[in-house]
Amino acid sequence: MKPFRFGINARTIGTASEWTERARRLEDQGYATLNLPDHLVAMLAPLPALAIAAAATRRLRVGTMVLNNDFRHPVVLAREAATLDLLSDGRLELGVGAGHMKVEYDEVGLAFDRGQVRVERLAEAVAIVKRLFTGEPVTYDGRHYRVTGHTIHPRPVQRPRPPILIGGNGPRLLTLAAAEADIVGFTGITFARGGAAP
We report the CATH number of the domain holding residue 154 as 3.20.20.30
Pairing assessment for the beta strands 67-68 and 92-97 based on DSSP bridges: parallel
User: Element (H or E) spanning 187, and its range?
Assistant: none
List, for residues 95-138, the tens digit of each pLDDT value. Answer: 999 999 999 999 999 999 999 999 999 999 999 999 999 999 99
Instruction: Specify if 64 maps to a domain.
Output: yes
Mean pLDDT, rounded, of the chain: 94
pLDDT at 192: 60
Instruction: Specify if 2 maps to a domain.
Output: no
Q: How far apart are CA 87 and CA 69, in angstroms?
A: 22
**How many domains does the chain contain in total?**
1
Amino acid at 145: Y
Instruction: Specify if 198 maps to a domain.
Output: no
pLDDT at 191: 56
Asked whether the beta carbons of 138 and 155 are under 8 A apart, the reply is no
Instruction: Specify if 195 maps to a domain.
Output: no
State pTM to two decimals. Answer: 0.93
What are the 10-residue block averages of pLDDT along the chain, 198 residues in total? Answer: 90 92 98 97 95 98 98 98 98 97 96 97 98 98 98 97 96 96 82 53
Instruction: Specify if 184 maps to a domain.
Output: yes
Instruction: Specify if 1 maps to a domain.
Output: no
The residue among 54, 76, 58 whose CA lies nearest residue 67 is: 76
Instruction: Specify if 197 maps to a domain.
Output: no
Collapse the DSSP code of 141 into the 3-class scheme (helix H, G, I; strand E, B; otherwise coil) and give the result. Answer: strand
Instruction: Specify if 98 maps to a domain.
Output: yes
Cα–Cα distances (Å) from 169 to 96, 145, 189, in that order, read: 13, 24, 7
Asked whether the beta carbons of 79 and 152 are under 8 A apart, the reply is yes
In terms of residue numbers, what domain contains 29? 7-188
